[in-house]
Structure 1
Amino acid sequence: MAPKRATRSTPATTTTPAPTATTTTTVTNAQLQAMIDQGVSAALAARDATRNGTDSHSSGTGVRGSERVARECTYQDFMKCKPLYFKGTEGVVELTQWFERMETVFRISNCSVENQVKFSTCTLLASALTWWNSHVMTVTHDVAYSMTWVDLRKKMTDKYYLRNEMKKLEAELWNLKVIV
């Protein structure tokens, strides 16, 4: 069944407002662009003030930023990069490779300077670990772990770059022959 139609008892009337006086102002394109820029800047400033920097994807200009906030490296992050282990018996070449790999892992894992010595010394094994533990007992944990990576490299170089091995490598280098 079709719905019933409602009818009004009084007809609808419309009123038109009385004409008002209008003032016309001419605006140049430059003035119009300046007003738009000012309005956009004010809107962006208001948005930035209300959000308090919680959006890390925006640079404040409405353009998505490409720079990410780096999070701090954890020991698990460091170990996921598969650092080399060093026993102290491998010699100069392996120690040099260990240094190079550690520095690569520091960069990849975004390891902070404060954690470099702590994390890297966890990869020492056998006699190298014994050497490190005796150093820690001599100077205390706080002092040992507050040293820089450069200082640790120097200590390990002094310990494991044996003079006779260096001379042997130099002799091999001088005695190399080019085969044509």
Structure 2
Amino acid sequence: MAPKRRTTRLKPETTPAATAATTTTVINAQLQAMIDQGVTAVLAARDANTNGVDSHNSGTGARRNERATRECTYPDFMKCQPLNFKGTEGVVELTQWIEKMETVFRISNCSVENQIKFSTCTLLGNALTWWNSRVRTIGNDIAYAMTWTELKKKMTEKYCPRTEIKKLEVGLWELKVKATDVIGYNQRFQELALLCGKMFPEESDKIEKYVGGLPDMIHGSVVASKPKTMQEATEMAIEVMDKRIHTFADRQTENKRKQDNNQQPQQQH
């Protein structure tokens, strides 16, 4: 009897073709995962570079935001050179102190919470005594919780009595140009107008009073220019006065030349 042949049947999953297919599928999956990871990394790097360019080159990124939101410290405030106030010069001194203080608030980005604390550190002499007395009376918390507007009102009531303001208002109404000194008139008018702000509810009221103090030699020309702002009025007054002065000087020179010519002895023929 012939011996039986032994046949070896390969399982489907172990055939060379199946093995190759499985290997290919694994490789493709790994490759796709690597591609996805690479794309993600590239996008992340691009975003990081873009943010870096915006913040460092264009100046509109995180660095600028950090500067803009940085809190103003007392040294920062003092670097802006606020004025001291002693309370001895009346309205003029107080007005200058307030104007300078508000400018310092703006350029130092001083927070509202620190305005009273920092500004009152510039008080000296009688003004400092007045403030310390007030702090003792109402307490630290209430005193330093005061707003800047409230502090200005209290200090105006203390150092700008109505009698002094009244004197300044009279001086403003009587103010006129002396000779041809328009520049001096402009400076004094602006100072008094600032101190007596309630006199001029509208800009047109201030312009009317200003023009009224100009001399006849330039008054008509300035009125004819119909200035809409104080700056236009003052600039026109200076310009017209300069022309009048130059014209007068030229006439003086011409008259002198004619007089010199007439005084020369005539040549004998």
The structure-2 alpha-carbon separation of the partners of 1:57 and 1:107, relative to structure 1 and needing over 3 Å to count, comes to: farther
The structure with the greater share of residues assigned to helix is: 2
Residue 175 of structure 1 aligns with an amino acid whose one-letter code is E
- Equivalent residue for 2:176? 177
Structure 1 residue 89 corresponds to structure 2 residue 88: yes
| Gaps in structure 1 of 5+ consecutive residues | 1-38, 49-54
Q: TM-score scaled by structure 2?
A: 0.45
SS of the equivalent of 1:93 reads helix
1:101: how far off? 0.3
Q: Which consecutive unaligned segments of at least 5 residues does structure 2 have?
A: 1-38, 179-214, 216-269
Match of 1:152 in 2: 151
- Superposition deviation, residue 89 in structure 1: 1.1
Q: Once superposed, what is the RMSD of the aligned Cα atoms?
A: 2.8
Per the alignment, do residues 97 and 57 of structure 1 end up closer, same or farther by CA in structure 2, a change over 3 Å counting? farther
Q: Corresponding residue for 2:164?
A: 165
Number of the residue aligned with 1:80: 79
Alignment of 1:106-121 (within 5 A): 106-121=105-120
CA positional deviation for 1:140: 0.9
Structure 1 segments of 4+ aligned residues over 6 angstroms from their partners: none
Q: Find the residue that maps to 2:58 and give its secondary structure.
A: coil
Whether 1:58 and 2:54 are equivalent positions in the alignment is yes
The 1:45/1:143 distance shift into structure 2, 3 A limit, reads farther
Partner of 1:127: 126
Q: Residue 54 of structure 2 aligns to a residue in which SS?
A: coil
Instruction: Write out aligned runs for 1:14-93 (5 A).
Output: 43=43, 47=47, 58=54, 64-66=58-60, 68=64, 69=66, 70=68, 71-93=70-92
Question: Residue 77 of structure 2 aligns to which amino acid in structure 1?
Answer: F
Equivalents in 2 of 1:166, 1:80: separation in Å? Answer: 33
CA distance in 1, matches of 2:53, 2:89: 47
Larger RCO, structures 1/2 (Cα 8 Å, 6+ apart): 1
Amino acid at match of 2:58: R
Identical columns (%): 65
Output one character per residue of 1:11-62: Cα deviation in whole Å (capped at 9) or x when no partner: xxxxxxxxxxxxxxxxxxxxxxxxxxxx89x9369946xxxxxx78736xx9
Q: How many residue pairs align between the two structures?
A: 134
* Cα distance change of structure 1 residues 57 and 126 upon mapping to structure 2, 3 Å threshold: farther
Cα deviation per residue 1:125-146 (whole Å; 9 max; x = unaligned)? Answer: 1111011001100111111111
Q: Which residue of 1 aligns with 2:141?
A: 142
Q: Which has the larger radius of gyration?
A: 2
Letter in 2 for 1:120: S
Tell me the TM-score normalized by structure 1: 0.65
Query: C-alpha offsets along residues 73-123 of structure 1, whole Å, 9 cap, x if unaligned?
Result: 111111111110001111111111101100111111111110000000000
